[in-house]
Structure 1
Amino acid sequence: MDEERTARFEAVYTATFAHLLGYALRRCDCQEDAADVVAETFAIAWRRLDSVPPGDQTRLWLYGVARNVLANQRRGAARRADLSAALAAEVTGFYEQPSEDDAVRRAFRTLPADDRELLSLVAWEGLDHGEIAVLLRCSRNAVRIRLHRARKRLNRALASTGAGEPVLIRRIQ
C-alpha cells in the first residue's frame, strides 16, 4: 500500500510541479515565498492523497490548495507586520532613535560584521571581556585585541566621515 501511495504521489508531483510553481511565482513577491507555497501545497497533497481527485482535476485541486496556502501566508505576513508595528510603537519610548545622518551610525555601518558585533556586545549589551570571550568561545586576550582593532577601524571610519573626534566604545549604562 505504501509503495502504491508513494508512486501515486510521485506521479502527481511530476505531472503538476511546473504548473504549480508557475502559479505560485506569479502570485508571490519573491521566489522563496513561491517555493514555500509549493512545498506546503505538496505536503498537504501527501497528507490528503486520498482526497486528491484523479486525472485533469488533480491540477485544479492543487491550485485550490495553493490558493488557500497563499491566503494563509498573506494573513500571517499581515499579522507579523501588525505585531512589528505595535512592537516598534511600544519600544519607541525606551530608546532614542538616532538620525540617519548620524556620523557614528554611518561609520558603524561601514565596519565588517564581526567588528559591529563585537562593538555592539560591549556598547549595547554591556558585556565585559570575559563574558564576550565565553560567548565567542575565545580567550579574554583575543577579545581585548579584537576590540582594540575594531575601535581603531571605527575611529578611522569616523575620521573619513569628517566626524573628527575619536570614539571610545564602552558600556552604555
Structure 2
Amino acid sequence: MTEQEARRMRRARFEGLAHLVVEPLHRYLLRRTSADMGEDVLSETMLVLWRRLDDVPGLGTDEPDPGDVLPWCYGVARGCLANARRADGRRLRLVERLIRSQEETPAGAADHSELHAALDALGALDREVVRLWAWEGLAPRQIAEATGLTSNAVSIRLHRAKKKIAAQLGRKDAEPTGHKRDEGRSSQ
C-alpha cells in the first residue's frame, strides 16, 4: 500500500467516524455549555479524534457500531470541555487580577490622569508618535521607520504634539521634564 493510499484510507475512516459522531457530540456539548463554546469544543474534539483515530474502539470494521464508538468519543469530548472550562477560568482569573491591580493604586503613586487625558486629546497618529518617543525612547528617524512617515514629518508632529500636551497640562514652558531640549529634533 502506498503512502497516498494509506492517507486516503485514513481520511475515509475519519470521515466515516465524523459522520457517525458529529451530531451526537454536538448535542452532548450543547446540553453542557453555551453554543459558542460548544462549537469550539466540538472542533477540538474532532481534532483529537483525528490524531487518535487508531485508538478509537470499534472503528476497525467497515460499519462501525455507534454503541462501540460513541462512548469513547463522549469521553474525548468531556475531556476537551474540561480543558476549555479550565482555560476560561484561567482567563477570567487573569482579567479579575488585572482589574484589581488597576483599582489598587499605591498611596504614593502619582496620578497621571491629566497626562492620559492630554494624550487622548491628540489624534491617533500623533499619540502614537509621542508614545514611541516618550515611552519607547525612539528617535524621530526610528519613529519614522515604525510609522512610515518621514523623519521631518515625525519631528514636526512630535513638536506640535508636545506643545498641545504642555498647553493642556498648563505648563509655562513647552519643555517636558526629563528630556533634553534637542531630543525631539531630527539628527539628519
Shift of 1:146: 4.2
| CA distances 1:37-79 after superposition (whole Å, capped 9, x unpaired) | 2332111101111222443244443332122122223334445
- Residue of structure 2 in register with 1:9 after alignment: 14
Q: Which has the higher contact order (CA 8 A, sep 6+)?
A: 1
Change over 3 Å in CA distance of 1:122–1:26 after alignment to 2:
farther
Counterpart contact for 2:25–2:42, Cα < 8 Å: yes
1:63 matched to 2:68: no
Q: Give the residue type in structure 2 aligned to 1:71.
A: A
Give unmatched runs, 5+ long, in structure 1.
none
- Residue of structure 1 in register with 2:33 after alignment: 27
Q: Give the residue type in structure 2 aligned to 1:139.
A: T
Correspondence for 2:53 among 44, 49, 53:
49
- Give the 4+ runs in structure 1 shifted more than 6 A: none
Distance 1:25 1:168 in 2: 63
Distance 2:130 2:160 in 1: 10
Counterpart contact for 1:108–1:116, Cα < 8 Å: yes
- Residue of structure 1 in register with 2:139 after alignment: 128
- The equivalences for 1:10-159 within 5 A come to 10-21=15-26, 23=29, 27=33, 31=36, 33-53=37-57, 54-57=64-67, 58-79=69-90, 81=93, 85=97, 96=109, 98=111, 102-106=113-117, 108-109=119-120, 113-147=124-158
**Largest Rg, 1 or 2:** 2
Shift of 1:6: 0.4
Shift of 1:128: 2.0
Counterpart contact for 2:115–2:169, Cα < 8 Å: no
Q: Give the residue type in structure 2 aligned to 1:63.
A: Y
Change over 3 Å in CA distance of 1:119–1:62 after alignment to 2:
farther
Distance 1:16 1:68 in 2: 16
Alignment RMSD (CA, Å): 4.4
| CA distances 1:110-161 after superposition (whole Å, capped 9, x unpaired) | 6555444332212222222122123334431232244456567x75xx99xx
Count of aligned pairs between the two proteins: 159
Q: Secondary structure at the match of 2:83?
A: helix
Q: Normalising to structure 1: TM-score of the pair?
A: 0.60
